[in-house]
């Protein structure tokens, strides 16, 4: 595979969620005792691991398609690819957003790419994708076309 990237949630976010889970487990322990508190702590810890896997966004480019999680598009339908600075990304996420665009963004990632589509049958004008390796993704998409 020419390009792969996984956008995982940062540790500070996972720590925040875990502290929320700990406060819930503490409440269960206070109300129901040691066994229930321990069980809730173990279940919530497993849930945190599952949530991390669920929230992780995976981007991959093959010789024929671009995959972003379950969404995919044929490389032939990809037009211009623009690397976005954090400022441009902030604007296009908000004020300059097109409601018909496909968004594969994560709030903790400030950079990304705007992938314009050349498919007359698809009303989606572009894909907005968070990426830490924006330049490499752009280069790979141009090479694969």
User: What average pLDDT does range 46-75 have in this prediction?
Assistant: 96
pLDDT higher than 90, residue 19: yes
Domain locations along the chain: 3-55, 58-144
* Pairwise CA distance, residues 113 & 102, whole Å: 12
pLDDT at 67: 97
Q: What are 68-124's pLDDT values in tens digits?
A: 999 999 999 999 999 999 999 999 999 999 999 999 999 999 999 999 999 899 999
Could you count the other beta carbons within 10 Å of the beta carbon of residue 120? 7
pLDDT at 2: 87
pLDDT at 96: 92
Q: Write the CB contacts of 96 (distance below 8 Å, at least 6 apart in sequence).
A: none
Q: Name the pLDDT band for 1 (thresholds 50, 70, 90).
A: low
What percentage of the chain has pLDDT greater than the value 90?
Answer: 93
End-to-end CA distance of the chain, in Å? 14
SS3 annotation, the chain: CCEEEEECCCHHHHHHHHHHHHHHHHHHHHHHCHHHHHHHHHHHHHHHHHHHHHHCEEEEECCCEEEECCEEEEHHHEEEEEEECHHHHHHHHCCCCCCCCEEECCCCCCCEEEEEECCCCCCCCEEEEECCCHHHHHHHHHHHC
**CATH code, 58-144:** 2.30.29
Could you count the other beta carbons within 10 Å of the beta carbon of residue 96? 9
pLDDT at 80: 94
Q: Name the pLDDT band for 59 (thresholds 50, 70, 90).
A: very high
Average pLDDT of the chain, as a whole number: 95
Q: Name the pLDDT band for 145 (thresholds 50, 70, 90).
A: confident
């Amino acid at each position: 595979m020419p390009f792969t990237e996984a956008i995982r949630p940062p540790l500070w976010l996972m720590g925040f969620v875990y502290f929320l889970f700990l406060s819930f487990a503490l409440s269960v322990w206070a109300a129901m005792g040691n066994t229930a508190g321990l069980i809730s702590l173990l279940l919530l810890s497993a849930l945190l691991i599952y949530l991390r896997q669920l929230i992780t966004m995976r981007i991959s480019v093959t010789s024929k398609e671009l995959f972003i999680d379950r969404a995919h598009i044929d490389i032939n339908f990809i037009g211009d690819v623009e690397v976005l600075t954090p400022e441009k990304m902030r604007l296009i996420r908000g004020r300059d957003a097109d409601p018909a665009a496909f968004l594969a963004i994560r709030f903790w990632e400030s950079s990304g790419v705007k992938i314009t589509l050349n498919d007359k049958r698809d009303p989606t004008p572009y894909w907005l994708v968070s990426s830490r390796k924006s330049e490499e993704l752009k280069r790979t998409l141009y090479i694969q076309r």
